[in-house]
Amino acid sequence: MRGYLCNNAEPWHFLAIAISTDLRNYRSTGPHISICGLTLVAIVRLMIFMKHTHSNFILSALVTALTLVACGHGGETTDDGGTESGEATDDPASRGGTETTAPSPECNVTLKGELITSVGDITYENHNLTAQASHLVGDGCVTALDLTFDIDGGCELALSMAAHGGEWTLTSGSFTADSNCGASFPEASHGAYLVDTAQSTAALADAPGTADDAAAESSCLSGDAMQLLGLLTMKSGPQDLTLRLNNLALSGSIASTGVAEGGCPAAPTFCPDNFECGEDPYGVECGECEKGFECNAAHTCEVSLCPPTAPPAFGTEQGDTLQNMTLKDCDGNDFELHNLCGNNATYVNLFAAW
């Protein structure tokens, strides 16, 4: 039989027998073998046979090329409804295209203002700024904010804030002072600093409560005048240093990434009711005392005793205020008695028993 096929059978008979044999193998092994692949194997067999029988080799090559084109056009359907080159679903990739996703919005933000420090002020205006926020998908509230800004690669301040317990909390921060900070920042204070988060505060005021698209995985947090507020205390570095953020403002839109879990911070509270005067923990001025009063450590106004006043007069009578006198210290230098106002004093009462 085999000799008859090799010498007398038409090539197409050979092809039919080869495909029939491979189909039986295909059914026994399952849908993991492509029918197109089996067909190509059968045609290769045909080409070898036709070459040995001096048949039309060009015709066989043409059939092979057509089969390759057909196999590349979407593949063979498998038992699970898919194809060799892609699933037969509504996915654009199964139709020869690529999967499309919503493009990330373009968010641009700028920083302007001054960073007030205890040794010198630093001006940031249209310098490098990297800002990244996180928002709770669905609710849209901002749960975290990372800011890094520098001047030409130096004088970098990096801050990370997050919502904890319904309030903004400064989680980390660093500051690198160098010559890029400008002439007003002394060289003796150059160096690397870390923020003492337990003694520092930071918040973003006048910012929108939610991201532009609360349901999106990528959105923007947009605002015309978002104000940075807070006082930063440095715990390491060449010297003690305090930074005041209150003169820095952001404008534009901050890129925000959606998160599934997180807390929504309430708007920061400035100048609580018990603050009559002085600065609150964010460095916001809460008021001044009237003339004759001064702000104490409890942020309330009390009667000012310095400089000394004269109710009703200066003198030595009961109820009078001791008048100012110029005295000599132990080194022979002049000093005025009223300049000691507010300092601790020792009261000595001399008496004699008769």
Based on its alpha-carbon atoms, the radius of gyration of the chain, rounded to whole angstroms, reads: 41
pLDDT higher for 18 or 181? Answer: 181
Q: Take residue 299 and report the two structure tokens written for it.
A: 């942020």
Q: Name the more confident of 265 and 9.
A: 265
Alpha-carbon gap, residue 106 to 104, rounded angstroms: 6
pLDDT tens, residue by residue, 56-91: 555 555 555 555 555 554 444 444 444 444 444 444
Mean pLDDT rounded to a whole number for the chain: 76
Cβ contact 271:286 at 8 Å: yes
Per-residue confidence band for 189, with pLDDT thresholds at 50, 70 and 90: very high
Structure confidence at residue 158 (pLDDT): 95
179 pLDDT above the threshold of 70 = yes
Q: Which residues of 320-333 are buried (b: 16+ CB within 10 A; e: fewer)?
A: eeeeeeeeeeeeee
Average pLDDT over residues 211-228: 88
CB 119 within 8 A of CB 189: yes
In this predicted structure, what is the pLDDT of residue 6? 46
Closest listed residue to residue 159, CA positions, set 111, 222, 221, 202: 202
pLDDT one-digit tens code per residue, 280-331: 988 999 999 887 788 988 899 987 767 666 666 777 777 777 788 888 888 9
Give this prediction's pTM: 0.57
CB 259 within 8 A of CB 137: yes
- Of the candidates 48, 23, 49, the one whose C-alpha atom is nearest the C-alpha of residue 35 is 23
* Whole-number Å distance between alpha carbons of 83 and 75: 5
Range with the poorest average pLDDT among 3-7, 38-42, 179-183, 212-216: 3-7
Is residue 133 predicted with pLDDT exceeding 80? yes
Percent of the chain with pLDDT over 70: 68
pLDDT tens-digit series, residues 240-276: 899 999 999 888 889 999 999 888 887 778 888 889 9
CA 291 to chain centre: 46
* φ, ψ dihedrals at 251, nearest 5°: -140, 145
The pLDDT of residue 232 is above 60: yes
